[in-house]
Structures are given as structure tokens and as C-alpha cells.
Amino acid sequence: MTSFEALLATRTRHMEASAIREILKVATSPGVVSLAGGLPAEESFPLELMEQLTGSVLAKYGAKALQYDASEGFGPLREALVGHLAARGVYTEAAGIVVFSGSQGVLDALGKILISPGDIIAVEAPTYLGALQAFNPYEPEYVQIDSDDDGLIPEALERVLTTQRVKLVYVVPTFQNPTGRTMPLGRRQAVAAILERHGTLLVEDDPYSDLRYTGERLPPIKTFAPGNVAYVSTLSKTFAPGLRIGFCVAPEVIQQWMVIARQGVDLHTSTLGQALAAEYITGGYLERQIPRIVELYRPRQQAMLEALARHLPEDFRWTHPEGGMFVWVEGPRGLDAERLYGKTVARGVAFVPGKFFYVRQADGISTLRMNFTAADPETIDRAVGVIGGVIAEELGAGER
């Protein structure tokens, strides 16, 4: 029998199974409480609406909802997204919106048309792992932009753009996965000015901004530098992730090429899924569902923050995000979060060691990503308690 390993394309050297895939497999084992995943809660989905939405879609579109459709996206969904984006300050016509199969589909298309092997992509430290998975097959190099509790530091971005030839910048400015950090208004404007001055393209990935528990909505960077930003978002966290609905508003040349790229990838996103999404938005259901999702998650985040305060030692710190799905924990220097993970998993509790979200993993040895959306408050408290217990034992044993 022929072994085909020798056939693998050279780009596969840059590709690997998701670094956290094994962690997520373990995390979903029976008996394990997972604070590791990035799953929205099933209770957040408008399950009870689905039959009605389906009936409306079939009545409205009939067989068209089952037929091949345009690579740019299903017309009524593009139309419906105009208002959804306008409410965020991103103004565009329907023709300026392209629908993809999740944010992932957007990121793959952007990578395919923009990244030549060896091109440098500037990312936050840490960044969203899924974006690296989208970009890696196109063989970029990465440079980290220094970041702090308010996200990427504009002066650090300026330094990177001045000293290196950067093809594009990738940022998650609001309730970032994995840290929950949000870039404040002043930094957004500063970043926009830097982009315009350098003629640099930013990929602004914004999946969580509707999951806001406190504070005020912030305008996307796109609003300050519209010609320099490919703005990316999704309905995965406010409708249903299984439908794979993402979308992008990008400068025209980039949009045209993204459409060409995606034709070869999947022709178009599910027509039925897009029609359901259009109905969900135009029927007013999305805007009614968001506050329900917020009310579901707010106590869970609260429970996590309280549990961290109760169970972790003084020399641990963590983010206090105004929204999103994650809390980011930084242990003291010397903590090996992956070792800690091995021990907490043995006690039935999983999280994600944060180093996997860094392009320079060594920078994140002592960090942890904790998800609060997928468990109820009592479970969250117990799970954090287990983590705290393991840490205390390690401290008692003199290990860090």
C-alpha cells in the first residue's frame, strides 16, 4: 500500500492540528468540567424559533432556499446585515458585505488572497488561535505587537510597522479571545491614524461585541479608518454557531478577490442557513435575543470573577472583561500552566493553558484561558475551586 506522507505539500510544514484540539478532546470527556472550550451555551440558541423561521424561509423563498446561490452571499441576508452593521457604526450598502462560512471562512479568504510565503503578519500577544490556523497554510511569519491590559499598545504597533515590512495586522479589539481585553477609544483612534499613515491593512475581528455585560459599546476601528480595515464579524455567538455564518466589510479590491477565492473553496455559504439568518434579523428576533444571552452570561462571568477572587492566591491576576466569553488569568512567574492543567484535568477540571495563543509561546507559560459561558455559576465556582486547590497544593509542595 502506498504511503502518501511523501506527497504532502510543503505548506503542511506550517500546519498542525489545532494546538488545543487535544485539550478540547480531554475537556469534553465524561466527568470533566470544562472551562476550556469556546462554545456558546446551548441555552443561548433560539431553539424554539427554528421551526417557525424555517417555515417562514420556505414560504418566502421556496426552492430558492435550497438552490446554489451567489458567492457574495444571499441577497436578503446581505440586506439585513446593513442595519446590523450600521448599529455598530459600520456603514455600508448590502453590496459591500460578503457572507462567508463563519469568521473562519473570512479569515481563510483573506489569508489566501493576501499572504505570500514569508509575509509578515502582526498580531497581538496573545491572539486568537483560529486566525493563526487560517493563516498558517499560506506560510506567513508572525511578529507580536506588545500588548497590555488594554490590548495592543499603539506605540508598539508604530514601532513594528516602522521597522518591519508588515503585510497585514490582525486584531480582536473587543472582548478578545483569549484575554477578554478591550481596546479603549483613544487607542482605536490612534491605531486608525497609524494604519492610515503607513497605508497598512488591518483585519479587525469582532465576534463578541454584542455580548456586553457592563460599560458602553465602542466604535470599531473600521469607523476611524474605513479604507484600511477589513471588518469581520459573525452570528455564531448571537444566533447559532452551527450555521456557519460570518461576514466581512472590506476595501473593494480586497472584497472582489475574497469572492474569487471563496468560489474555489465552497462556492457559497449554505443558502438555507443564510436565509434563516436573514429571517432571524429582519423578524426582530436577533435584537430580542441579545439581551437574553447577556442575562444568561452575566451571572456566569460574575461567578467566575468571584470564584477567582475567592480561590486563587494573591499573586495571581486576571482580566475583568466588560463582556465576551473568557477570563484570562496570569499566574506568578514560574507557574507552568500546562503542568497545572495536567493536574487539574486529573481532578476533572479543564481550562486552556494560555501559551498556545501566543506566536511566541514562551511569553505565555504562566497564563490560563477560562471560559464561563458553557457552565452554570455553581459549576464554575466548584471548578475554579478545584483549580485553586491544586495551586495551593503545588505551593505547599514548594512547586510553582
Q: Which positions from 187 through 206 interact with a second copy, judged by CB under 8 A?
A: 196, 199-201
CA angle, 129 as apex, 157 and 241 as ends, to 5°? Answer: 120
Question: What pairing do the DSSP bridges indicate for beta strands 229-234 and 202-205?
Answer: parallel
Looking at the Cβ atoms of 230 and 305, the one nearer to a second copy is 230
CA angle, 122 as apex, 118 and 127 as ends, to 5°? Answer: 115
Between residue 204 and residue 243, which ones bind a second copy under the rule CB under 8 A? 227-228, 236, 240-243
- Min dist. Cβ of residue 220 to a second copy (A): 18
Looking at the Cβ atoms of 162 and 214, the one nearer to a second copy is 162
Alpha-carbon distances of 386 from 22, 271, 311, 378, 392, rounded to whole Å: 21, 45, 8, 13, 10
In the chain, the amino acid numbered 365 is I
Residue 5 engages a second copy in binding (rule: CB under 8 A): yes
Size of interface with a second copy, in residues (CB under 8 A) = 86
Q: How far apart are CA 169 and CA 341, in angstroms?
A: 31
- Min dist. Cβ of residue 359 to a second copy (A): 15
Q: How far apart are CA 74 and CA 58, in angstroms?
A: 14
Applying CB under 8 A, among 36, 77, 249, 254 the residue interacting with a second copy is: 254
CA angle, 210 as apex, 207 and 216 as ends, to 5°? Answer: 120
The Cβ of residue 365 has, within 10 Å, a number of other Cβ atoms equal to 18
Applying CB under 8 A, among 130, 353, 364, 388 the residue interacting with a second copy is: 130
259: which residues sit within 8 A by CB, 6+ positions away? Answer: 71, 72, 98
CA angle, 246 as apex, 203 and 261 as ends, to 5°? Answer: 70
Between residue 24 and residue 63, which ones bind a second copy under the rule CB under 8 A? 39-40, 42-43, 45, 47, 50-51, 54-55, 58, 62-63
Between residue 93 and residue 112, which ones bind a second copy under the rule CB under 8 A? 101-102, 104-105, 108, 112
Binding mask 159-178 for a second copy (x = CB under 8 A): --------xx----------
Between residue 343 and residue 382, which ones bind a second copy under the rule CB under 8 A? none
Q: Which stretch binds a second copy (CB under 8 A): 81-89, 135-143, 315-323, 387-395?
A: 135-143
- Min dist. Cβ of residue 258 to a second copy (A): 11
Applying CB under 8 A, among 94, 95, 156, 265 the residue interacting with a second copy is: 265
Looking at the Cβ atoms of 97 and 250, the one nearer to a second copy is 250
DSSP for residue 170 = E
- Min dist. Cβ of residue 115 to a second copy (A): 5
